[in-house]
């Protein structure tokens, strides 16, 4: 099976003899309530000429809302609404690229992604594929992208994935779910407007925020960490606690969740995820369970590996009145369990990060099955 880890860290960082990743940061960021209003001004100097449009990829939940009226369309700019119901796919990226190529004689001035992790990942991938040949599936992996992407902007409307700041775009391809990890993937500009995350449902708000929280727990308890990623991860974790366990005003809560996601994404630079992500991959691969909720479903049963983290998670879930679905794995066949287990156990770097080189002494198919059966 060719399913691989999703997070963009390809080797162990942090020991003296290693080469450290020269990490690309988002070179330009604006933060503030209402900062979305500055988008027109931000894009203007990036417009190549009137025939080279900006293409806005927007989560279709915003269709017909006031946000759409605020998008600064001029010339032949175009809004393309995209559903985020399913995880982003290489075929979807290829179709979007084809649509844009067919619609215009010129390359666009840029791509603007407006939405959650799915839309942000699609925007990154489309920006890359407009200048690189073939199918996006050919670029899933590490540093396979040859040519710089076109200018691309990320505007999160859900916070927690860290997609706004990471150097990967995770895509489901014909053969594998894997990120296009490259220095060209990172956004050229991010607009962090906490007002934009107001409309999200409580469940989505919780699951996506927990993506950040669980990532932090996994990376801070991992063996791959260094001080750079630790400091970002600790801050992201602290902000998650404030948001989900504190008594913040709605405004402060949005501000802080947006920053939690930002710092959580930065912490990926020199760290790796762990048990929850590995097992969640099995769920996603077999059952199509989405990333955020998949992590939650697994994580609740990982007290053996992350006792403090699971305790905190349960406190947050209870305080926020979130009821996780049950019986997801109830009617699975032995063969289906085996598939999930095989996918999960294939995530070697995640297990090694979580448990060290001897992880196979702890992690057996029986062990994983016993956890999956609870879900």
Q: CB under 8 Å to 41, separation ≥6 — which residues?
A: none
Is 249 among the residues that bind a copy of itself (CB under 8 A)? no
Strands (E), 145-260: 152-156, 170-172, 177-181, 189-192
The answer to whether the beta carbons of residues 26 and 186 sit under 8 Å apart is yes
Lookup: tokens for 268: 């990926």
Gap between the Cα atoms of 55 and 119, Å rounded? 13
Cα–Cα nearest to 96, from 147, 61, 56, 144: 56
Which one of residues 10, 33, 78, 131 is an interface residue with a copy of itself (CB under 8 A)? Answer: 33
Q: Closer to a copy of itself at the Cβ: 129 or 225?
A: 225
Residue 245's CB is within 10 A of a number of other CB atoms, namely 13
Q: Closer to a copy of itself at the Cβ: 14 or 72?
A: 14
Strands (E), 140-266: 141-142, 152-156, 170-172, 177-181, 189-192
Gap between the Cα atoms of 298 and 347, Å rounded? 15
Q: Closer to a copy of itself at the Cβ: 42 or 324?
A: 42
Task: Give the SS3 label for residue 298.
Answer: helix
Which one of residues 10, 12, 32, 91 is an interface residue with a copy of itself (CB under 8 A)? Answer: 32
Smallest separation (angstroms) from a copy of itself to the CB of 28 = 6
Q: CB under 8 Å to 115, separation ≥6 — which residues?
A: 57, 58, 59, 62, 82, 84, 155, 156, 157, 158
Which one of residues 1, 11, 25, 98 is an interface residue with a copy of itself (CB under 8 A)? Answer: 25
Contact letters for a copy of itself, residues 217-246 (x by CB under 8 A): ---------xxx--xx-xx--xx-------
Which one of residues 5, 124, 177, 256 is an interface residue with a copy of itself (CB under 8 A)? Answer: 256
Contact letters for a copy of itself, residues 124-153 (x by CB under 8 A): ------------------------------
Smallest separation (angstroms) from a copy of itself to the CB of 245 = 17
Which one of residues 2, 20, 198, 365 is an interface residue with a copy of itself (CB under 8 A)? Answer: 20
Gap between the Cα atoms of 137 and 93, Å rounded? 9
Which one of residues 3, 7, 9, 13 is an interface residue with a copy of itself (CB under 8 A)? Answer: 13
Is 38 among the residues that bind a copy of itself (CB under 8 A)? yes
Question: Among residue numbers 323 through 362, which ones bind a copy of itself (CB under 8 A)?
Answer: none
Which one of residues 206, 270, 351, 359 is an interface residue with a copy of itself (CB under 8 A)? Answer: 270
Options 29-37, 46-54, 103-111, 334-342: segment touching a copy of itself (CB under 8 A): 29-37
Question: Residue with structure tokens 């017909």?
Answer: 64
Lookup: tokens for 336: 């289906």
Element housing 253 (H / E):
helix 250-267
| Interface contacts to a copy of itself, rule CB under 8 A | 13-14, 16-35, 38, 42, 189, 192, 194, 226-228, 231-232, 234-235, 238-239, 252, 255-256, 258-259, 263, 269-270
């Amino acid at each position: 099976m060719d399913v691989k880890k999703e997070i963009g860290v390809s080797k162990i960082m942090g020991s003296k003899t290693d080469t450290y990743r020269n990490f690309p940061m988002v070179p330009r960021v604006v933060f503030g309530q209402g900062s979305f209003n500055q988008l027109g001004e931000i894009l203007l100097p990036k417009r190549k000429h009137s025939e080279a449009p900006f293409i806005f990829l927007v989560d279709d939940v915003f269709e017909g809302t006031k946000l759409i009226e605020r998008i600064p369309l001029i010339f032949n700019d175009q809004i393309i609404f995209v559903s985020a119901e399913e995880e982003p796919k290489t075929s979807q990226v290829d179709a979007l690229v084809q649509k844009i190529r067919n619609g215009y004689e010129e390359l666009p001035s840029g791509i603007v992604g407006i939405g959650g992790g799915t839309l942000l990942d699609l925007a990154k991938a489309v920006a890359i594929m407009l200048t690189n040949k073939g199918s996006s599936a050919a670029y899933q992996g590490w540093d396979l992208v040859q040519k710089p992407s076109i200018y691309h902007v990320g505007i999160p409307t859900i916070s927690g994935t860290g997609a706004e700041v990471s150097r990967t775009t995770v895509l489901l391809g014909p053969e594998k779910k894997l990120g296009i990890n490259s220095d060209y993937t990172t956004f050229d500009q991010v607009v962090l407007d906490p007002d934009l995350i107001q409309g999200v449902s409580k469940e989505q708000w919780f699951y996506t925020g927990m993506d950040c929280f669980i990532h932090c727990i996994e990376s801070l308890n991992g063996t791959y960490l260094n001080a750079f990623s630790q400091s970002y991860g600790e801050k992201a974790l602290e902000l998650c606690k404030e948001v989900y366990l504190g008594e913040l005003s709605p405004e402060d809560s949005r501000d802080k969740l947006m920053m939690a996601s930002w710092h959580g994404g930065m912490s990926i630079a020199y760290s790796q995820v762990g048990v929850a992500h590995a097992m969640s991959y099995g769920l996603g691969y077999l059952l199509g369970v989405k990333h955020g909720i998949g992590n939650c479903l697994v994580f609740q049963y990982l007290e053996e590996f992350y006792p403090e983290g699971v305790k905190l998670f349960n406190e947050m879930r209870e305080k926020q009145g979130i009821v996780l679905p049950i019986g997801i794995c109830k009617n699975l066949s032995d063969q289906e369990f085996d598939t999930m287990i095989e996918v999960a156990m294939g995530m070697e770097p995640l297990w090694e990060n979580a448990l060290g080189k001897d992880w196979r002494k702890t992690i057996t198919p029986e062990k994983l099955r016993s956890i999956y059966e609870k879900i």
